[in-house]
Amino acid sequence: MASNNHIDLCNVRLPLLDERELYRLSIRDGNWTHIRKQEADAADPEVIDLEAWKSEQRGPTDGIPTLDLQGKILLPGYVDAHMHLDKSFSLTTVENISGTLEEAILNYSAAAPTFSKEEIKARMMRSALQALSFGTTHIRTHLDFNLKYSRDIALRTIEAALEAREALAPYITLQLFPMCPFNFMSLDNEAIEEALRMGVDGIGGAPHLSQTPEEDIDFIFKMAEKYDVPIDLHCDETDNPQMRTVAYVAKRTQEEGYQGRVAVDHLCALASMTDEDAGGIIDQMAEAKLKAVSLPAVNLYLQGRHDTFPVRRGVTRLKQIHERGIPIAVASDNIHDPFHPFGRGDLLQIALIGSYAAHMGRPADLRTLLRMITEAPANVLGLTSYGLTEGNAANFVILDGRSTEEIFTLLPERRWVYCQGRFVRSPGSKAEWNNTTLAQFWQGATQAVSFQKHEFAKG
Ligand SMILES: [Zn+2]
């Protein structure tokens, strides 16, 4: 297959720069080398309509092609700052009848010993590829680390994840964050060090679920410093306005000089607090240079389950956190598992749900939401060489729409995904890969992971 790591693009619309203008872009060796506004009368001698582009029809001696986007939207590859790839597509075997976070955790934990490494890897491959097909080029995934049964069961997930990360590395970048289980201080916590030695990218957890949250947070900081890795915590994923582990995380971040290396996710409790209390916490987050991630779809689904009307909806204060200057991303969280029966790994869909949940629908809000699935999560992941700047890696998605309002309205299925020097997907069904290896991965993963519901045991 001919490489397309040298390519020019014209008539490109870039909502993250200036949507009123059209741009001309050049890619050489997979990097942006030219990003400029197009002259009004610029005419290319030979342009190829993007719709007709077939890289395999180019010979090695053909010149560098110019693809005409005809005003379509181009965004840097989406960055999903918070997924649970290992749990995805487990709803066939793990149910959640009450729809609460508590039952999801309980049932998934009970089922954990029955999952083989191959099954976990297939689920990760399937959901990561599905996300790639919609335009995601980088993912941070949290990983179940179930020490309740044995070290082997906990490490099985890590092994599966390391294999998936390696297989997918030429196409999509995965960051792996094992979650220290809550109340783990009495468990085999040396296993966490083993996971860190195996080469995961950081350390996670959900200290608000612990009976000893401060001790858990202290331990997580100790491990992070010992292995020199970032921290990413589920924080206060509850309607309880008194839950404020984020304040302790902010304090410890400053004490340890870990500013810029700690992400706090969910922050649902902030949505239940008074404005005054929430404002104070958001100030502490800003002072500690915490980064934030909101998971609007899953919060809408799981939170408020213990309320009678009026029912709280759990989504944190997106606008307020953003306006305070804290980088905040919106991300997918769970896909088709007991925590969330839906989701497809499409961050544009998540941005739309964020728009509903946070009342962000003005033109400026929609452009902010686009940053919340691109630049803000790239900041959370600590990516260098990301985004629309000359010299950076040219990973991007083109959407079949000509304004931000249009893509939020239509969530176009027709997308072109370019990563690491080539187009990997062109329009059609989401499984329509331009790459043989990806097509094989997709086939294997979709055969192994189905929507066919297993029979649940009665009783
Ligand atoms: Zn999560």
Query: Quick one: pLDDT at residue 455?
Result: 57
Give me ligand 1 centre to Cα 334, in Å.
Answer: 7
Are domains 7-76+390-444 and 78-381 of this chain identical in fold? no
Distance 293 CA to ligand 1 centre (A): 10
**Residue 177 alpha carbon to ligand 1 centre in Å:** 11
Output the CA 225–ligand 1 centroid distance in Å: 23
CA 360 to ligand 1 center in whole angstroms = 23
Cα(2) to centroid of ligand 1, in Å?
Answer: 39
Instruction: Parse the chain into domains and list their residue ranges.
Output: 7-76+390-444, 78-381
Q: What span, in angstroms and rounded, lies between the C-alpha atoms of 284 and 249?
A: 10
How many whole angstroms from 145 Cα to the centroid of ligand 1? 13
Order of all β-strands in the sheet with 415-419: 73-76, 396-399, 415-419, 422-425
**Over the range 165-194, which residues count as b (16 or more CB within 10 Å of their CB) and which as e?**
bebbeebbbbbbbbbbbbebeebeeebbee
Q: How far is the CA of 331 from the centre of ligand 1 (A)?
A: 9
Ligand 1 centroid – CA 205 distance (Å): 9
Q: Which residue has the tokens 């992971």?
A: 449
Burial class (CB in 10 A: 0-12, 13-18, 19+), 344: middle
Measured in Å, residue 263 CA sits from the centre of ligand 1 at 12
250 alpha carbon – ligand 1 mean position (Å): 19
Using the mean position of ligand 1's atoms as its centre, give its distance from the Cα of residue 34 in Å. Answer: 38
pLDDT given for residue 2 in this prediction: 46
94 alpha carbon – ligand 1 mean position (Å)? 17
| 107 CA → ligand 1 middle, Å | 16
Residue 10 Cα to ligand 1 middle (Å) = 39
The architecture in CATH of the region 78-381 reads Alpha-Beta Barrel (3.20)
Taking only the tens of pLDDT, the chain with its 459 residues reads: 446 789 999 999 999 999 999 999 999 999 999 999 998 766 666 789 998 887 767 777 778 899 999 999 999 999 999 999 999 999 999 999 999 999 999 999 999 999 999 999 999 999 999 999 999 999 999 999 999 889 999 999 999 999 999 999 999 999 999 999 887 666 677 899 999 999 999 999 999 999 999 999 999 999 999 999 999 999 999 999 999 999 999 999 999 999 999 999 999 999 999 999 999 999 999 999 999 999 999 999 999 999 999 999 999 999 999 999 999 999 999 999 999 999 999 999 999 999 999 999 999 999 999 999 999 999 999 999 999 999 999 999 999 999 999 999 999 999 999 999 999 999 876 678 999 999 999 999 999 988 876 655 544
Distance 11 CA to ligand 1 centre (A): 39
Q: What is the CATH number of domain 7-76+390-444?
A: 2.30.40.10
CB atoms within 10 A of CB 56: 8
State the distance from the centre of ligand 1 to the C-alpha of 222, rounded, in angstroms: 22
Distance CA 183, CA 212 (A): 7
Output the CA 142–ligand 1 centroid distance in Å. 7
Ligand 1 centroid vs 311 CA: distance in angstroms?
22
Question: How far apart are the CA of 163 and the centre of ligand 1, in A?
Answer: 21
Neighbouring residues of the ion ligand 1, judged by CB less than 5 Å? 333
* Cα–ligand 1 centroid distance for 265 (angstroms): 8
Q: How remote is the CA of residue 415 from the centroid of ligand 1, in Å? A: 27
Residue 107's H or E segment, with its range, is: helix 101-111
| Spatial separation of the C-alpha atoms in residues 92 and 340, rounded to whole Å | 12
- CA 405 – ligand 1 centroid, Å: 29
Q: How far apart are CA 143 and CA 161, in angstroms?
A: 8
Distance 296 CA to ligand 1 centre (A): 11
> What is the CA(82)–ligand 1 centre distance, in A?
6
**Can you give the pLDDT at residue 4?**
79
